[in-house]
Amino acid sequence: MIRMTEPSKITGVPDHQPAAGGIAARARASVGPKYLSGLNPEQREAVETLDGPVLVLAGAGTGKTRVLTTRIAHILSQGRARPAEILSVTFTNKAAREMKHRLGQMLGHAVEGMPWLGTFHSIGGRILRVHAELAQLKSNFTVLDVDDQVRLLKQLLQAENIDDKRWPARMLAGLIDGWKNRGLMPSQVPSGEAAMFANGKGGKLYASYQERLKILNAADFGDLLLENIRIFREHPDILRQYQQRFKFILVDEYQDTNVAQYLWLRLLSQAPSSTSPRGRGEVASRSDAGEGDSPSTALLETAPHPSPLPVKDGEREKTKNICCVGDDDQSIYGWRGAEVDNILRFEHDFPGAKVIRLERNYRSTGHILAAASHLIAHNEGRLGKTLRTEDQDGEKVTVTGSWDSEEEARGIGEEIEQLQRQGEKLDEIAILVRASYQMREFEDRFVTLGLPYRVIGGPRFYERAEIRDALAYLRVINSPADDLAFERIVNTPKRGLGDATVQMLHDHARKRRIPLFEAARAVVETDELKPKARGSLRDLITQFDRWRAQREVTTHTDLAQIVLDESGYTEMWQKDRSADAAGRLENLKELVRSMEEFENLQGFLEHISLVMDRDGGAEDDAVSLMTLHSAKGLEFDNVFLPGWEEGLFPSQRTLDEQGRAGLEEERRLGHVGLTRARRRAKIYFATNRRIHGTWSTTIPSRFLDELPAANVEITESKGGSAWGGSGGYGASRFDDMEAFGSSYSTPGWQRAQANRNRGGQGGRGGFEEEAASYSSSPDFGSFSSRRRGPLTIEGELVAKSTGTTSEFSLEDRVFHQKFGYGRVTKIDGNKLTIAFDKAGEKKVVDSFVQRA
């Protein structure tokens, strides 16, 4: 009888692994799980290497997200862990949702029971709510945003008689956020850094701020991890519970982690042992780091990374199964605390770690990858990898010079229209700028052309004043100790409770060390306030008591509607006669509708506090306009990269503040911008640029000379003046002009324009008729870029309302001076959506077209 022997026990036979791509490898792959099919050898190795620390160095477009989700699916399908035993950390809620969706597709069923898949802050917040009492909080604490932080710090500055104009609260908020990102409690802030604010009072204000947060039953984003770290340090038994709970840890975008996130991960990634980690109160109290301890303050002050934690004999096999996925070439968030050294030191922090490089790009063409790889190779601080593709070379990266920034915007606008005529979707076109102020000229240009666009990373729905007011009411209902929310709406709508009343409440609350709401309840029982103010405040307190009682017997959506109506807030906007009042009322309705998908009020408020990304809904086809930082993780067929000039890109401010490290981060930013493009990447620079109202002469970016000549093509601007033309300077932008415009939006002006375009005798002659004669010349004047265009909200064109409906009907045949003939497909007030025969679909005001 032949006895089966384990392969490892066979002697005299050399080790053998099937050749990559060979018959044996392909046959083995065919019998594996379906979710493993289609993975290249490097991706499959990253998925199947489950034991010990693993660093997956994933370049842009190499299938990073697929590897991460497939790895989770493999862990679950192999029975190595239950869903609740996997900690998977992402940087955005969008990434977490995408991961869950993909897991559901891979495993063939909805992914349930994965409570520990989310962002750093959402998971940290969940742990903190469980152990809130250890941080002197209640489980229903409020998470403050930046606006509330600044308001609270202003109060503290006033209490200390510090001039908030010389020492702005927003500056202090930035300092505190930086300290929390580095894992520093108030007692650990270096004296030199504390002296940077208010003549050495920075540390004291930080301590007062933390103390005030406890009284308000509140935490800010930094606390969600900082308090976790403190609890883990001071209560090793709790830390050990979580270490034992998480059998596998997976981290996305590891290169973007800051020191606090790094320390949080290091504590959780230590293998639990029978020996309890030594607890301690403040890190500053000791300088040694034993098993389970975090780095000392001295180490934190001198470098963001501690020495690796010692591992006792025989415990090497207990190393936690942690897998970090990231790309050192895409570390572009140093300005907000990210430490690229976290990924560069991975092998040092986790001895014996396996590093797997994903270099096969599935996004961009050969020329784009070659240009991006050649550029980033000039960086010294990187682990090193070279992106490659099996795709065709495609079009070369183009570099285009223009006379000034206005011509740059015109040229890009012309190229986009040409792409549109060739059948390219606007959704697949993006303009990535280095600084947000570059966007204005593109927005003006797109309004002039009638090109739909969206600004990514612009004003968000939940940041609008009316939404913040409504949320403040709901926050006070959820947590009566939320002073900042109560102060925001105590006199909104007007109740006769002025600054003097609010100051009296603050004084009373501070003396008694009680929340503002409880101070108000006490004050209304005295004669300190005037009868009218006392009555208004008593009514408001009664309303909140009633709403809290209703919370137990009605849905949170109905409650929100009741609060908005009974508080008088809806009525306030109904009586408002401003142009945007109707839009604000619609926003409030949308807010109530958005609550329906949440089980309760606290869940909804938690979502609002933790949401880190902008959710794009079903929008019309539009060009995406955003900063290079906002573009990370996105991809488009066509990418325009304007403003590659010294001082703008690389940023002079970054170079001045960070030197070579700043230059390398700027270069990584250029690498990220290029690798967003699938088929075309187009770089622009201008010789003259207006920055904050002042024209400056610029020189091309040093990054242009770091691009490989074989993969780059020099082109001429299509913005109306030939670069390098006669005289060596090119034609002036004034040589190629378009129609004058006007910002008038009165009904009379609109009627005059309508009459003029329909052949009538509107207006009084003079300027209006002159403007009309200029408009008849198709390419006259860039002066239109100086006028104020139609109102835009979050990058979407909104025609100026005249209070009248359009005279046109659907399917009407019309003619436009620039776009030619077309038919009306959609009517929104006096704004028409027209499908032009040659120019494609555009949005225009009806006064600029006439019946054909």
| Spatial CA neighbour of 163 closest among 192, 194, 197 | 197
Of the candidates 227, 253, 293, 341, the residue annotated as catalytic is 253
Of the candidates 230, 445, 464, 676, the residue annotated as catalytic is 676
Biggest CA–CA distance in the chain, Å, is 111
* Gyration radius (Cα) of the chain, Å: 31
Buried b (16+ CB within 10 A) or exposed e, 371-397: bbbbbbbebeebeebebebebeebbbb
Active site residue 676: yes
Of the candidates 49, 65, 136, 658, the residue annotated as catalytic is 65
| Spatial CA neighbour of 490 closest among 504, 473, 477, 512 | 473
The amino acid sitting at 594 is S
| Spatial CA neighbour of 450 closest among 843, 29, 14 | 843
Active site residue 393: no
**Spatial contact of 701 and 646, defined as CB atoms under 8 Å apart:** yes
Of the candidates 42, 43, 62, 64, the residue annotated as catalytic is 64
Contacts of 827 (CB under 8 A, 6+ apart): 806, 808, 809, 810, 833
Which residues, listed in sequence order, are joined to residue 828 by a DSSP beta bridge? 831
- Count the helix, strand and coil residues of the chain and give each as a percent rounded to the nearest 5: 45, 15, 40
Of the candidates 164, 220, 227, 252, the residue annotated as catalytic is 252
* Three-state secondary-structure class, residue 548: helix
Active site residue 65: yes
Active site residue 511: no
Active site residue 252: yes
Of the candidates 62, 155, 330, 833, the residue annotated as catalytic is 330
CA atoms lying within 13 Å on the CB side of residue 153: 31
Number of H helices, E strands in the chain: 31, 23
How many whole angstroms separate alpha carbon 58 and alpha carbon 60? Answer: 7
Q: Helices in 552-701 by DSSP H: which ranges?
A: 556-566, 569-575, 581-594, 601-610, 652-674
How many whole angstroms separate alpha carbon 694 and alpha carbon 545? Answer: 56
Residue with tokens 């519970």: 241
Buried b (16+ CB within 10 A) or exposed e, 525-540: eeeebeeebbebbbeb
- Other Cβ atoms closer than 10 A to 682: 21
**Residues annotated catalytic, as ranges:** 64-65, 252-253, 330, 676
